[in-house]
Amino acid sequence: MLIRTTAVTVEADLIAAATEAPLFKPVDLGGLSSSEAFAGLVPGAQVVKAFNHLRPGLVAGDPANRGGRRVLFYPSDDAPAKAEVGALVDRLGFFGLDLGPLAVGGRLFQFPGGPLPALDRIRFG
């Protein structure tokens, strides 16, 4: 993940991190997922990786699709923050899928490298 910054002040308790490598080139993060690396840049913040595994048009569009709801993944190391983002995902009409901690779930839809990025999944029922 490439993050360019000079000085950043974060005044937030919860961050829904919709970040990915803009150049789509893998970089050595010392064994961390990009989400864990990002969380290390905002110490004390509750980081939830969300809203970035689908193309923007799908996230901005109607989550109801073919009689089901479009799936959004969200991992985090913080259970209350994850619950809050999960509730937001649900209020927006999507079906949220908790992928566990950042070290596991973050890798699943990390781009490049994860098996889940850009997958448009629909939950029926």
Q: Is the pLDDT of residue 28 over 90?
A: no
What pLDDT is attached to residue 80? Answer: 92
The whole-angstrom separation of Cα 33 and Cα 109 is 10
pTM over 0.95: no
Torsion angle in degrees (nearest 10) through CA of 106, 112, 115, 116: 60
pLDDT tens track for 72-111? 999 999 999 999 999 999 999 999 999 999 999 988 887 7
| Mean confidence (pLDDT) of the chain | 80
Question: 15 near 45, Cβ under 8 Å?
Answer: yes
Share of the chain above pLDDT 70, in %: 79
Comparing 82 with 58, the larger pLDDT belongs to: 82
What pLDDT is attached to residue 23? Answer: 59
